[in-house]
Amino acid sequence: MSRTTARLRTGLLIAAFSVGALTLSGCTAISDLFPQQAARDAETQEISEAGEADVFSLAVGDCFNDQDADAVESVTAIPCADAHDYEAYFAFDVSEDGAFPGDEALAQIAEERCVTEFATFIGKSYEESTLDFNYLSPSEGSWDSGDREILCLAMAENKTTGSLAGTGI
């Protein structure tokens, strides 16, 4: 047996041991590198299993938790039956074409439409409700890629459990 063969065999044993150890003890390390994607019920299209969701995949009725970031690309979407920070209640496209209108212009558009549509989803006007709202809007970069959607989000002071649709709170 040559030294090259012995080294190769030793290298293969170390690699096999490493893979085995990672498989047995590192499942969470692997899942941290590749987070589970949120799953939707095939019939209702509601989030049925918590996981990461691209913000462009969110739909009215989806619930998720705060991401604590200025620019959000993905969120932890969860079933609305679980405690959550936000529930999407209305989505619309900004009708402006051309150059990015700016964050202030988008904020004004979002606030007007989100307040107007709040009562339709919640069952009580924004002014009378104990709930608040927020929204996701296009960034300058996503605008340049054709993103025009604003997603209105209902929220409470603390996490809520269950859908806020029609609650009238």
In a domain, 86, yes or no: yes
Task: Tell me whether residue 130 is in a domain.
Answer: yes
Residue written as token pair 């462009």: 56
Would 46 be classed as within a structural domain?
no
CA atoms within 13 A on the CB side of 42: 0
Distance CA 28, CA 132 (A): 36
Work out how many domains the chain is built from and give that number: 1
Looking at the domain assignment, is residue 42 inside a domain? no
Digit-by-digit pLDDT tens for the chain (169 residues) are 334 344 444 444 444 444 444 444 444 444 455 569 999 999 999 999 999 999 999 999 999 999 877 788 999 999 999 999 999 999 999 998 889 999 999 999 999 999 999 999 999 999 999 999 999 999 999 999 999 999 999 999 999 999 999 999 9
Domain for residue 59, yes or no?
yes
- Is residue 153 exposed (0-12), middle (13-18) or buried (19+ Cβ within 10 Å)? buried
108: in domain: yes
Instruction: Specify if 145 maps to a domain.
Output: yes
Q: Tokens at residue 168, please?
A: 């009238």
Q: Which domain holds residue 90?
A: 54-160
The Cα angle at residue 151 between residues 147 and 156, in degrees rounded to 5: 155
Q: Which residues of 33-52 are buried (b: 16+ CB within 10 A; e: fewer)?
A: eeeeebebeeeeeebbebbb
